[in-house]
Amino acid sequence: MSDSNYLLLDTSVLIAHLRKMPGVKALLERFREQMFFAISTITLVEVWQGAKPAETEQTRLLLQGLDTVPLDPVLAEKAGQLAYQLRIKGYTCDLADAVIGATAINMNAPVLTANIKHFEAIPGLDIWDFKNMLADLGREGGKA
């Protein structure tokens, strides 16, 4: 478990929020009471890559409310080394996921994701399962 006051949001979480998936807003509001939200620079790119023209304003407003962690040379080196270490152990790690994972580890923050399989091989990463948390919230009767 991390001791950071930050929660790093994966692209999958932001897309779910932008697409108004039931329960996402309520879940994020619960976390917002206790933590700051951050995203990796690569997440910023991924979100804009998938943003539809009609979503531009909504996307911009969402992203402005998040702390963006820059991809500097030190973090780039850590992400590259992480991807290399996983590769020699037989795991394929997408470059974006390596950057997100390295960012979370560097911040000592958990990553909230709907794509557990993308991150489960990364040692030392505190992964929070977005889908399970949404399901738990639904069982509790939480609404978006």
Tell me the per-residue pLDDT of 51-110, one tens digit each, with 9 for 90 and over.
989 999 999 999 999 999 999 999 999 999 999 999 999 998 899 999 999 999 999 999
What is the structure's pLDDT at 1? 44
pLDDT band at 3, cuts 50/70/90? low
Tell me the per-residue pLDDT of 25-41, one tens digit each, with 9 for 90 and over.
999 999 998 999 999 99
DSSP-derived letter for residue 124 is T
What CATH number has the domain bearing residue 35?
Answer: 3.40.50.1010
The C-alpha atoms of residue 37 and residue 101 are separated, in whole angstroms, by 15
| Residue 7 pLDDT exceeds 90 | yes
Residue 19 lies in a domain: yes
Residue 121 lies in a domain: yes
Q: Which residue has the tokens 């590769």?
A: 87
The C-alpha atoms of residue 68 and residue 65 are separated, in whole angstroms, by 9
Residue 98 lies in a domain: yes
Domain of residue 117, residue span: 6-138
Residue 67 lies in a domain: yes
Report how many domains make up the chain: 1
Residue 79 lies in a domain: yes
The C-alpha atoms of residue 138 and residue 111 are separated, in whole angstroms, by 21
- The torsion region of residue 9 among left (phi > 0), alpha (psi -120 to 50) and beta comes to beta
